[in-house]
Amino acid sequence: FFSPNISSDFLKDDDGDNRPGRQSHDEDGDDIKKGEHHQSSQTFGLLVDYSINSHWALQSGLAVTNRTIAINPKRIYAANNGNGGVDYLYNCSSGYTFLSSKFAASPVAGDSLQTQETKNTLQYLSIPLLVKYNFSFKRINLFTSIGTSLNILTKGRLSTEIEAAPGSREATTSTNIIGLKKCYFSGSIGLGLSFPISNKFAFSFMPSYNFALGSSTKGAVVKTYTNTICLGAGIIYKLY
Helix/strand/coil for 53: coil
Q: Is there a contact between 173 and 141 (Cβ–Cβ < 8 Å)?
A: no
Q: How confident is the model at residue 118 (pLDDT cuts 50, 70, 90)?
A: very high
* pLDDT for position 19: 62
**b/e sequence 112-131, b meaning 16+ C-beta within 10 Å:** ebebeebebbbebbbebebe
Return d(Cα 58, Cα 120) in angstroms, integer.
34
Helix/strand/coil for 42: strand
Return d(Cα 145, Cα 63) in angstroms, integer.
16
Q: Is there a contact between 8 and 227 (Cβ–Cβ < 8 Å)?
A: yes
The number of folded domains in the chain is 1
- Percent of the chain whose pLDDT exceeds 70: 95
* pLDDT for position 201: 96
Q: What is the span of the domain harbouring residue 72?
A: 2-237
Return d(Cα 229, Cα 42) in angstroms, integer.
11
Residues 182-199 have a mean pLDDT of 96
Q: How confident is the model at residue 137 (pLDDT cuts 50, 70, 90)?
A: confident
